[in-house]
Amino acid sequence: MSDARVTIQRDSEREERVVTTGTTAAALFEGERSVVAVRVGGALKDLAYQPGDGEEVEPVEITSEDGLNILRHSTAHVLAQAVQELFPEAKLGIGPPVKDGFYYDFDVAEPFTPDDLKRIEKKMQQIQKQGQRFSRRVTTDEDAREELADEPYKLELIGLKGNAASAADGASAEVGSGELTLYDNLDAKSGELCWKDLCRGPHLPSTRLIPAFKLMRSAAAYWRGSEKNPQLQRIYGTAWPTKDELKQYLEFLAEAEKRDHRKLGTELDLFSIPEELGSGLAVFHPKGGVVRKVMEDYSRKRHEESGYEFVNTPHITKERLFEISGHLPHYEDGMFPPLEFDEQNYRLKAMNCPMHNLIFRARGRSYRELPLRLFEFGTVYRYEKSGVVHGLTRARGFTQDDSHIYCTKEQMPDELDNLLTFVLNLLRDYGLSDFYLELSTRDPESDKFLGTDEEWEEATEALRQAAGKQGLDLVMDPGGAAFYGPKISVQARDAIGRTWQMSTIQVDFQQPQRFGLEYTAADGSRRQPVMIHRALFGSIERFFAVLLEHYAGAFPAWLAPVQAVGIPIGDDHVPYLAQFAAAAKAEGLRMEVDSSSDRMQKKIRNAQKSKVPFMVIAGDEDVAAGAVSFRYRDGSQKNGIPQDEALREIADAVERRVQV
C-alpha cells in the first residue's frame, strides 16, 4: 500500500504526517471526541473522508460554529426519521440548522400537537441511543429520483440542484451545487438501512454523538417560504454539545420569555396591538406614552445641544419621489401598495430621507451652512410579511428618530467621528453599555448597488476609519449594505446577553446626485454634498421594546411611568401622602397615591407588580415626624426619612438616571 503525506492544521500550528493511503480523518484524530468533522480545501467533510496526498486537514470541534451546525443538522435528521417512523405518511421538506437549533418541515394531514412532540422526542432518544451510523453515498439524479419517488418535495429539490436561488430557502443544505448525495442511517450492529435522506452533509459519525437535544415547538410554514406553495408543519428543536449547555439555554429562554416585551406591555399596561388595527400596528397606553415621551424629550434635548435642526414631513407622497430616490426599484417589496387618486399613484412613506432631500433643495445652500443636520421623529410604514411581524421589534408602522447630515467631503471624517461618539454616548445614557460595531459593505457581484467602485471604496473607508477610533470590536458584514451606500451599525448586548442592532450610520453619495443637491463652495463653484443617514434608536417602538426587555419592565426611575407610589398604612394617612405627592409633582416627579380600599400588603404587591421604583409608606409615626418610609423594588426598606430628604433621593435617582 502506498503512503500519503497529510498536513494537520490547528490554528497557527502545522503538523505533517505520513499515513497509509485510505486512512480516514477519524483515524487522524482518534481519541479526540470533540472533533466531529474536518475541513479540507475550504470544504467540510465527514470523519469518514480519506485525505489524499498533499492535502491539508483542519479539525472541526463540536463547539465551533461549524461543529454546532453539524450537530444540529444531524439532530434534524434524527427528528425526521422519528417523525416518519411514527407518522409513515409524512412527506419530508427540508431540515437545516439555524441559530441555536434546527427545524424540519413535514407535509402531514394534521398539525402536530404537544403530545405528538413528546412522542417524537422519545422516539428520537431511542434512535440516539441505538448509535446509528450516518453514511454518505454519492448518487445520480436518476437514481435519487427512483429512491425518493414517494417524496415529492425531495424530487423538487433534485430539480433545483445547482440553482443559486435554492440557497435562500435552505434547499442548498439538501442538494448543494456539486455531486448529489444521500445519507443513510445504518444500524450500528448489522449495518442494515434504517432510514435515508437527501443531503449534502456533513454529519456526525453516529447518532450516539448527539449529546443533548430538545424539541421546542411546531408551527405552520410555507414550502420554501412562498405563500404560493403548500403549507407544511415545521418542528423546531435545539441541540448542544453538553447537557449543561442545553440546561443553560433552556434557562435563558425562560428568562427571555419573562422579559418578552409583548407580555410585559400587557402586564404593565404600556401598549397593545388591537386586532382592529392589524398586525404590526401598536397603540401606546398612558403609561407607555409617558415612557415614550421621556425617551423622545431626552433625545430631542441632546440633539438640540449638538446642533440638529428639527423638521417634519408628511406620511404620504407621490410615488415619483421614491422613483427619484431609487427606493421604488430597489425596495418596493417592503412598501405598501400604491394608493391612486387625482389620477396619480401615492405611497405611504417608508423612509424619511427623500423628503429631507427636498428640504435641502428648497433653496440655495452655502458651504457656511454645512454641516446641516436635519432631525425628525418621522413615522413610516413598511409592508412586513405576517410571518416576520413581531410585537414592537418588527412592526408595520413605526417612528424613526431619523437624521440626515449634509456636509462637504472634507467635513465627512470629523462628522462621522462625532456621530458615532454621539450615538454611543446617548445609548449609554439609556442604560446600554456593551457594544460592538458591524460594517456592512457592497457585494461586488450584485447589481443592486448604485454608484461606482471608487465611491463605494471612499465611503467604506471613511466608515472604517471612524469605527476604528471607538476602540470597539468591528465585525464585517459583506453584502449587507443599503443599495446607496455602506453602513456602520451599533450592535448592543442587553442584560441577558442578546444582541440587538441599534443605531445605523450610512454614507451616501448617490441620493445627493439623484436629487441634484448642491451647495455653493467658498470659491463660488457648485458642489455636491455628502449625505449621511443616521437613525439612533432605529425606531422608537423597537427601542422601547429593547429597553423594556433589557430592564425586564423595571425601568430606572427617570424612565419609569410612575416613579413613586404612596402607600398609606391606614385611610387616615392618605391626605398626608397626597400632600407629599403634590410636593413631588411640583418638583417634576411622577407620583401617585394608592387610596384604594385594598389592605396595605396588597397595595405593596400591586406596586411591586407594576415595578414602581419607590414605594413611599406613611403611618402614624411618619406623620408625627414629618417623614416617610421607603420600600425599594428589591424589598429593602428605609424608615423615618424627612420629607425633603425623601424628595431629594427620588429626584437624585431621576437626575442621575440610575437603577434603584
Cβ neighbours for 582, distance < 8 A, ≥ 6 positions apart? none
Which residue among the candidates 128, 400, 563, 643 is catalytic per the annotation? 400
Instruction: Check if 590 is active-site.
Output: no
Rounded to whole angstroms, the Cα distance separating 279 from 392 reads 10
Which residue among the candidates 396, 533, 542, 611 is catalytic per the annotation? 533
What size, in residues, is the chain?
660
**CB distance 606 to 580 below 8 Å:** no
261 labeled part of a ligand binding site: no
Query: What burial class does residue 220 get, using C-beta atoms within 10 Å of its C-beta: 0-12 exposed, 13-18 middle, 19+ buried?
Result: exposed
Q: Residues 24, 28, 30, 31: is their CA dihedral positive or negative?
A: negative
Which residue among the candidates 382, 542, 603, 611 is catalytic per the annotation? 382
Rounded to whole angstroms, the Cα distance separating 117 from 113 reads 6
Helix, strand, or coil here: 445? coil
Cell of 346: 401615492
First-to-last alpha carbon distance for the chain, in angstroms, is 74
Instruction: Check if 659 is active-site.
Output: no
Rounded to whole angstroms, the Cα distance separating 462 from 476 reads 15
Rounded to whole angstroms, the Cα distance separating 105 from 345 reads 40
**CB distance 644 to 596 below 8 Å:** no
Instruction: Check if 487 is active-site.
Output: yes
Rounded to whole angstroms, the Cα distance separating 252 from 496 reads 8
Instruction: Check if 382 is active-site.
Output: yes
| Tally of CB atoms within 10 A around 636 | 8
Instruction: Check if 402 is active-site.
Output: yes
Rounded to whole angstroms, the Cα distance separating 371 from 360 reads 12
* Phi, psi of 650, rounded to the nearest 5 degrees: -65, -50
Rounded to whole angstroms, the Cα distance separating 284 from 270 reads 6
Q: Which helix (H) or strand (E) holds 272?
A: strand 271-272
Which residue among the candidates 81, 128, 233, 353 is catalytic per the annotation? 353
**Within 13 Å, how many C-alpha atoms sit on residue 130's CB side?**
22
Which residue among the candidates 72, 487, 550, 631 is catalytic per the annotation? 487
Based on C-alpha coordinates, what's the Rg of the chain?
A: 30
Q: Residues 294, 299, 300, 304: is their CA dihedral positive or negative?
A: positive
Chain centroid to CA 578: 44
Which residue among the candidates 105, 402, 508, 594 is catalytic per the annotation? 402
199 labeled part of a ligand binding site: no
356 labeled part of a ligand binding site: no
Query: What burial class does residue 87 get, using C-beta atoms within 10 Å of its C-beta: 0-12 exposed, 13-18 middle, 19+ buried?
Result: middle
Q: How far is CA 49 from CA 18, 55, 127, in A?
A: 16, 12, 24
Cell of 61: 470541534
Helices 286-305 and 412-429, packing angle to 10 deg: 150
| Tally of CB atoms within 10 A around 420 | 22
**Residues within the annotated binding site?**
353, 404, 533
Q: Which residues have a catalytic role annotated?
A: 353, 382, 400, 402, 404, 487, 533
**Residues within the annotated binding site for Zn(2+)?**
353, 404, 533
